[in-house]
Structure 1
Amino acid sequence: MIKSISKYILLSFGLLSAQILIGQTTSEYNYTEAFGPGFYTSDGTAYRSASGKPGPQYWQNAASYDIKATLDDKTDRIKGTLIMTYTNNSPEALDFVWFQLDQNLFNSKSRGQATLPLTESRYGSTSSTFEGGYSLQNVKINNVMTTNYVITDTRMRINLSKPLEAKGGKVTFSMDFEFAIPEYGADRTGILPTKNGKIYSIAQWYPRICVFDDIIGWNTQPYTGPGEFYLEFGDFNVEISAPADHIVALGGELLNPSEVWTAQQLERYNEAKNSNKTIMIRPLSEVTNKNSRPNAKQLTWKYRLENAHDVAWTSSNSFIVDAAKINLPSGKTSLALSLYPEESNGKNGWERSTEYTKASIEHYSKKWLEYPYPVAINVASNVGGMEYPAISFCGYNAKGGDLWGVTDHEFGHNWFPMIVGSNERLHAWMDEGFNTFINEISTQHFNKGEYNMRYGSKNSLTQALFNPSLEAVTNSPQNMRERHIGYLAYYKPAYALRVLREEIIGIERFDQAFKKYIEYWAYKHPTPNDFFRTIENETGENLNWYWRSMFQNNWQMDQAISEVRYVDLDETKGALITVQNLGKMPMPIEVEATTASGKKLTIKLPVEIWERNKVWTFKINTTEKLAKILLDPRNVFPDMDPDNNTWKAK
């Protein structure tokens, strides 16, 4: 920032004078830009109310899947068949549908591979010789073979022989698919070698229908790695066939436990369902024991998951398995299940995974909305941290606070975006940022704050989060530099929600509004405006200035004390403090004044003082001299230049 020479005018008779502090000479602030009307560029509709709720005619389409797949652990390939029933609840007939083919990212000719930088990226595959992508056969519509489809990169358009009728029309698609599993697939799927066998983390593994919505119609954003999900809700019936020495876990209810567990493991499995303490289902001592698995060549694990938008799974012969009961507010229960190799066991490592999973799910269920799934499965993986409904992949070498943090984060994603199904491909901050925000609260509560310091001090990241080189939070992750995604999708929106909760609205009022947002949009597809409108309508606050500052733009905040003087040069009559708003972001004012005798006075002023002013003068009622004036004494606002926040008597 441009600095100006400080002026100090020392008056005689020991009286305090005006003191101009070091600070920016020119304000960038424009109050009509910050507070002006017109933030919302469209009115509410019958589909999306201006109140932030789904409108009276809100609709979304639905997709349910029946999938059978086989894992070949010799060739690292998956073969499968799927039958998908699609329901068109929209008000218009559809002449075609679009599918997502995410595995095509790992084809050497994909757009995603072409956009990978030469420097290290999390969105590629570690092997330069690996050739992935789908092989699709026997594509059918209502059980009739069709060749009337076109595959373009990670998308497939299937043309319909007759339009799918509006408001309830149904159609069934089926196809066979096969692909090679990438060793490291964009940090979402992969294969981890361990001393006792390979761990397969299988995600984004079957062709999935794209979302058709009232916002942009078909959502066909190519999958290039950074953006994650936008999927329709439905029910899943999945059968996974794998070598009999493997244990297969999928995010859903296991329908045939007696067929895939040994008698002893089944007994332990059932015991865990009723235990608040972690129960070993398959201890380390059994991992290399052939008798710890049923005597067969191959087993088929059958799972069902209802009202979800995706499924993922894992398979390995190296798993230690433990579990415990999750207690839900309604009296229902779920099952926390952890699967990890010998390398992850011990030294405050994965032996605490089930404890962490249970605590995380129970906290979010009580605080926000009850967990809907029958299990919560944590898998030790070479995937550093990735979430799917009812199952998470977390780094196998994580321990202590790092393991708590990644476990809590990935299971927090069951609320954002598994329950509140926002469009991650375009609005990553609506799941990553919201989730990081609720993680901070969860961490405060876990085990009497065991890992509470992992997020650092309140403003430790201010200079990074508001760096002028960053894009705006509302940009899509594909439209951000990769090294910026962590700041913009995770930490800055979480920071913005924390400040909004603790400093602008208040914890109780914010939490009620945030809980209503979750309730209104559970199992639906909200947009950014739906969130903004919900918070404003529920709290009664006009927060256009805040959304503009924190989300739509990368504005900086810089408040400065520019003058301190006594009324009529008489300290017994009080002091007048003048504050400038030098940055483009407005924020409330909080000042701590320390008198010569050591007494402290705190003055708080609302953000509305900046609605039509760049400079504001207010009075501190004191009858003695002042020793120090400090702006933002609790360090809760993102002031980029704290050097001009302090005045000291001379």
Structure 2
Amino acid sequence: MIRKLFSGLLLSGLLLGNFTYAQQGLDNNQADFGEFMDRKGTYTRTASGKPSENYWQNKADYQIEATLDENAHVLTGKITINYTNNSPENLDFVWLQLEQNRFTPDSRGTLTTPVQGNRYNGDTDGGFDISAVQAKVGSKGTVSSKHIITDTRMQVWFNEPIPAKGGKASISMNFSFKVPQKGMDRMGRLKVNDGWIYAFAQWYPKMAVFDDVEGWNVEPYLGAGEFYLEYGDFDYKITVPYDHVVVGSGKLMNPKEVLSKELQNRYAKAMQSDTTVYLIAPDEIKNTALTRPKQDGTITWHFQIKNSRDVAFATSKTFIWDAAKINLPSGKTILAQSVYPKESDGQEAWSRSTEYSKASIEHYSEMWFEFPYETATNVAADIGGMEYPGLNFCRYTSKGEGLWGVTDHEFGHNWFPMIVGNNERRYAWMDEGFNTFINHYSTLAFNEGEYSSNLNQTRRYNNYFQNENREGIDTYPDVANTGNLGMVAYMKPGIGLIVLREYILGPERFDNAFRSYINTWAYKHPLPSDFFNHMENVAGENLSWYWKGWFYGNGNIDLGINAVIPYGGNYLAILSNKGEIPMPVLLEIEFEDGSKERQMLPVEIWQRGDSWNHLIRTDKKVTKVTIDPDKILPDINLGNDSWPQLIYED
């Protein structure tokens, strides 16, 4: 006791001796709080994080007809793109993306894949066969066939420029490709007992984005980097063998032509049902007389989707098909549906897929922004998980919590990047990270917490945060180490938003800002700076220190309590910031009578240096002080977060 008292008095004297110095902040950290990137307003984007009155965006409308040759595993089609140039400059040419060209032996993606392989391995015996290219400006322009194909990009030239500010052009061509069996975990085909499942994505030539920041965005398709696409309306027709079922992005336009009378009735029943209804039951897969309107040849399925950036579809004769109604906040109802083979059937597996899909879409629509499309479809395929507007491909062997997680995650992508159209190829964290964040709350809400969220405990990832090989959130996905990509693109930005919502801003301020961001940038192309500016302006907080430290830095959080000592009838908490990222300090103070109170110290205390003395005004005896009592922060040092007992004793 004497030693404890002596050391307490000594520590008290030393700390108080430094008290004046620490408070004056002679050595400040203002550099941590300054702007770290150019976030000034531009001609097209405001400093408040909104599109300005001069913002423009080009538009691409598609008409596509395609036919599947199941024997050769080849898709053949023709496409017409009606392009509107809303930019302020005339365009002599346009760029398109030919992502099937990734599946060739000499593609950039193939040649930059490590010898040992990775998730983005793919077949190399495919690629587009392009023919009959025609391009013209307006309805009276002359036709040009001039084009250059370079890897996964295609440049198409016109005989005269597309006029600025509303000029129109059309580009048409024929295309075909062999459907890869291994499609880089994004698309492809899977053999099951009853036949093949075809998951079609990146299946047609599509417009590259011409924007107000980069001009033409022509990064090649390598693998990890995903997509950046223009918005427009799609009308597409898929011709398949008569015994196939096709599900696709958007609305089925010809149900009477492709569904039997019995199937039409079941479809209508599902549209009125909050519980899952079989359209094709497991024992009906081969009963085409019951489910199909014809019994030979081919049949054409017709789909449309408006204001979308992409379309995908799946086709197979092996599908169990079930569906249920989705209830949207506006009162509108749409369809959730799932297709899967017998191998995926079961109440512990895909029989719950439609239940999961319905819950996911309803939650995000209520929480953030209403789902805009006519259907939400989950497809069982040999794909870990990949998202397209209104349609997912998920692993056909997934079950239980794993199936919930991948279904919810892929449907969450309808908000980022399908509705908020960021550039995935450059800023993976703006879709994967934002989506991981909203998945956290969807999982907490589903079935009263049936499954747990990966982000319930942010400190479980501290080993990564202290790993010398860690990479920052701003690392391009195609550059990031494959082993780090999950943290760089998904978990770290997701954790960052949880900290921002639950610790820094609070749910009300955060939700107002985040909803406003989604609504403001719906069907547009935001940059990181637009997100930062918008969140700050709506929430009313300068967050440069946080964007710089967590999103564009690689440092860590380490807040600590060095001591709690009596001071003038009150108590003094001696605090330190030993990490690279400043943070507000939430203190929970416990008293001898069992009561507790919380005090939040603003982040600005660290502008004055790395130590701070906080006066706890109380006439009660303090028994414990804890930083971040709810353990929201991914603080890397657990040992200095609390002061368990007083140094002195009466």
- Rounded Cα–Cα distance in structure 2 between residues aligned with 1:244 and 1:604: 66
Q: Is the 8 A contact 1:593 1:626 kept in 2?
A: yes
Q: Report what 1:440 is aligned to.
A: 440
Residue 630, structure 1, aligned to residue 626, structure 2? yes
Residue 582, structure 1, aligned to residue 583, structure 2? no
- Matched residue type, 1:180: K
Shift of 1:625: 5.5
Q: Report what 1:56 is aligned to.
A: 53
- Matched residue type, 1:216: E
Task: Please show how residues 518-597 of structure 1 align to structure 2 within 5 Å.
Answer: 518-567=518-567, 573-595=569-591
- Rounded Cα–Cα distance in structure 1 between residues aligned with 2:183 and 2:13: 60
Deviation per CA, 1:525-565, whole angstroms, max 9, x where unpaired? 11111111111110110000010011111111112222332
- Matched residue type, 2:583: M
Deviation per CA, 1:480-529, whole angstroms, max 9, x where unpaired? 11111111111111111111011111101110111110111111111111
- Rounded Cα–Cα distance in structure 1 between residues aligned with 2:7 and 2:197: 80
Q: Is the 8 A contact 1:79 1:177 kept in 2?
A: yes
Residue 611, structure 1, aligned to residue 607, structure 2? yes
Unaligned runs of 5+ in 1: 1-7, 22-28
Residues 9 and 66 (structure 1), Cα distance of their counterparts in 2 relative to 1, 3 Å cut:
farther
Residue 222, structure 1, aligned to residue 220, structure 2? yes
Shift of 1:41: 1.4
- Rounded Cα–Cα distance in structure 2 between residues aligned with 1:138 and 1:456: 55
Residues 278 and 588 (structure 1), Cα distance of their counterparts in 2 relative to 1, 3 Å cut:
same
Residue 264, structure 1, aligned to residue 262, structure 2? yes
Deviation per CA, 1:240-290, whole angstroms, max 9, x where unpaired? 011111111111111111111112111111211122221111101111234
SS in 2 for 1:11: helix
Residue 497, structure 1, aligned to residue 505, structure 2? no
- Rounded Cα–Cα distance in structure 1 between residues aligned with 2:252 and 2:100: 26
Shift of 1:171: 0.5
Q: Report what 1:621 is aligned to.
A: 617
Q: Report what 1:509 is aligned to.
A: 509
Q: Report what 1:98 is aligned to.
A: 95
Please say which of residues 136-145 and 339-348 is displaced more in the overlay: 136-145
SS in 1 for 2:484: helix
Seq. identity, %? 48
Q: Report what 1:429 is aligned to.
A: 429
- Rounded Cα–Cα distance in structure 2 between residues aligned with 1:415 and 1:13: 57
Q: Report what 2:22 is aligned to.
A: none
Deviation per CA, 1:360-414, whole angstroms, max 9, x where unpaired? 1111111111111111111001111111011111111111111111111111111
- Rounded Cα–Cα distance in structure 1 between residues aligned with 2:468 and 2:583: 18
Q: Is the 8 A contact 2:143 2:159 kept in 1?
A: no
Q: Is the 8 A contact 1:83 1:173 kept in 2?
A: yes
Q: Is the 8 A contact 2:145 2:157 kept in 1?
A: no
Residues 98 and 14 (structure 1), Cα distance of their counterparts in 2 relative to 1, 3 Å cut:
closer
Unaligned runs of 5+ in 2: 16-26
Residues 598 and 290 (structure 1), Cα distance of their counterparts in 2 relative to 1, 3 Å cut:
closer
Q: Is the 8 A contact 2:60 2:81 kept in 1?
A: yes
Residue 109, structure 1, aligned to residue 102, structure 2? no
2:63 is matched with which residue: 63, 66, 70? 66
Deviation per CA, 1:612-637, whole angstroms, max 9, x where unpaired? 22110012234566544433222111
- Rounded Cα–Cα distance in structure 2 between residues aligned with 1:30 and 1:290: 76
- Rounded Cα–Cα distance in structure 1 between residues aligned with 2:152 and 2:86: 25
For the aligned residues, what is the CA RMSD? 2.2
Residues 544 and 453 (structure 1), Cα distance of their counterparts in 2 relative to 1, 3 Å cut:
closer
Please say which of residues 402-411 and 555-564 is displaced more in the overlay: 555-564
Q: Report what 2:244 is aligned to.
A: 246
2:641 is matched with which residue: 636, 639, 645? 645
Q: Report what 2:119 is aligned to.
A: 122
Q: Is the 8 A contact 1:401 1:454 kept in 2?
A: no
Q: Is the 8 A contact 1:102 1:223 kept in 2?
A: yes
Number of residue pairs aligned between Structure 1 and Structure 2 = 629
Q: Is the 8 A contact 1:465 1:487 kept in 2?
A: no
- Rounded Cα–Cα distance in structure 2 between residues aligned with 1:290 and 1:465: 55
Deviation per CA, 1:213-263, whole angstroms, max 9, x where unpaired? 001100001110111111011111101011111111111111111111112
Residue 469, structure 1, aligned to residue 469, structure 2? yes
Q: Report what 2:312 is aligned to.
A: 312
Q: Report what 2:133 is aligned to.
A: 139
- Rounded Cα–Cα distance in structure 2 between residues aligned with 1:211 and 1:309: 11
- Rounded Cα–Cα distance in structure 2 between residues aligned with 1:638 and 1:399: 30
Shift of 1:14: 9.2
Q: Report what 2:79 is aligned to.
A: 82
Q: Report what 2:24 is aligned to.
A: none
Shift of 1:646: 3.4
1:149 is matched with which residue: 113, 133, 147? 147
Residue 191, structure 1, aligned to residue 189, structure 2? yes
Q: Is the 8 A contact 2:39 2:47 kept in 1?
A: no
